């Protein structure tokens, strides 16, 4: 890995990162790099240890080496995390070749970073991975909310009418104007939706 003798930038929020590598020196160096940016780093030296730790603790991100001891490598770990904890992004790293990215992504990793990498490069790819995961999660929530509204238009319409009535202190005519309804349509909608509201 490259030297950590760089001035850190604080462009991104601090993360809690699990770093998996069977080389203790790699773990110490990556931990030092990421700590410069305020990240909290926990290191383990096998996929089994990492997966066990993920069951007990929470992390924003996992960075794992491709080659790990035992029967489980970084790709296996990425695929397991994608299945068991899909909200936790995984970055795979390797010093073998720069052409392993597509295979890593097919296995469930969100990105790949070749070794050696600088502190800036590691920090940037980690922060971007977490930001992208958060963006996708927010988009999923919006889509789910939109689907729910489509499936329950009556509930949404009722809430809108009640909000308009509250805003106008129960004045039916003004509430109808806010909603773009005619007076008669407002009356009809209130009756259909079971909104009991006294008005003059």
User: Which of 1.10.10, 3.30.70, 2.40.128, 1.20.120 would CATH assign to domain 152-192?
Assistant: 1.10.10
d(CA 190, CA 67): 65
| Chain segment 114-154, per-residue pLDDT in tens | 999 999 999 999 999 998 888 887 776 666 655 555 556 57
User: Which of 3.30.1490.20, 3.40.50.880, 3.10.20.30, 3.40.50.2300 would CATH assign to domain 16-146?
Assistant: 3.40.50.2300
| Chain segment 172-184, per-residue pLDDT in tens | 888 888 888 888 8
Higher pLDDT, residue 34 or 144: 34
Sheet containing 61-65: which strands, arranged edge to edge?
A: 40-44, 16-20, 61-65, 90-94, 111-114
List the chain domain ranges.
16-146, 152-192
Mean pLDDT of the chain: 84
Give residue 156's pLDDT band: very low, low, confident or very high (50, 70, 90).
Answer: confident
């Amino acid at each position: 890995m490259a030297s950590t003798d760089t001035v850190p930038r604080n462009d991104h929020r601090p993360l809690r990162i699990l770093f998996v590598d069977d080389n203790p020196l790699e773990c110490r160096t990556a931990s030092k790099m990421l700590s410069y940016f305020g990240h909290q780093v926990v290191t383990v030296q096998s996929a089994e240890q990492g997966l066990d730790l993920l069951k007990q603790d929470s992390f924003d991100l996992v960075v794992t080496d491709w080659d790990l001891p035992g029967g489980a490598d970084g790709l296996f770990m990425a695929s397991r995390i994608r299945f068991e904890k899909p909200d936790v992004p995984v970055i795979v790293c390797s010093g073998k070749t720069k052409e392993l990215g597509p295979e890593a992504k097919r296995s469930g990793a969100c990105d790949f970073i070749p070794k050696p990498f600088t502190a800036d490069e590691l920090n940037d790819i980690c922060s971007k991975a977490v930001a992208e995961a958060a963006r996708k999660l927010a988009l999923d929530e919006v889509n789910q909310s939109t689907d729910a509204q489509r499936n329950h238009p009556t509930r949404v319409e009722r809430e809108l009418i009640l909000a308009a009535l509250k805003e106008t202190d129960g004045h039916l005519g003004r509430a109808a104007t806010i909603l773009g309804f005619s007076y008669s349509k407002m009356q009809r909608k209130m009756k259909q939706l079971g909104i009991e509201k006294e008005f003059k």
